[in-house]
Amino acid sequence: MSGRHDTMMNPRIEDLLDRTDSKFRLVTLGSTRARQINAYFNAVGSGGLGSQVPPQVPSVVRKPLSIAFEEIAADKILPVYGEELAAKREAEAAEAAARIAAAQEQD
């Protein structure tokens, strides 16, 4: 008898957990991306796409969470960890300060 059970979910949760460090990060990553996908689909109908990112994988499913999980399984969506996020925000703040200083020097 096999140790693996057939599930209705594709991709399998076990495969998705291999791409994150915890089930909590998987839930957060999936739900955040699902909201972004949902916003994209809502913006398509109104004509104002703006900065919305379309789904990154071809999919036959229509549910945003299923699409998000397919993106995670395909390594199109990666988790951002605390130190990386803090470093990115600091770099953006320094860049903004440099632009402001450069603009003030020109005036």
Looking at the chain, the whole-number percentage of residues with pLDDT higher than 90 is 31
Identify the pLDDT of residue 4. 55
Same domain as 97, residue 67: no
For residues 91 and 65, give the distance between their C-alpha atoms in angstroms, rounded to a whole number: 31
Same domain as 27, residue 70: yes
Per the domain annotation, does 48 fall within a domain? Answer: yes
DSSP 32-57: HHHHHHHHHHHHHHHT--TTPPPPSS
Q: What residue numbers bound the domain in which 84 lies?
A: 80-107
Domain count, the chain: 2
Predicted confidence (pLDDT) per residue in 27-72, tens digit? 999 999 999 999 888 888 776 666 778 888 998 888 999 999 999 9
The whole-model pTM stands at 0.65
Same domain as 51, residue 88: no
Q: Looking up tokens 């998000």, which residue turns up? A: 68
Per the domain annotation, does 57 fall within a domain? Answer: yes
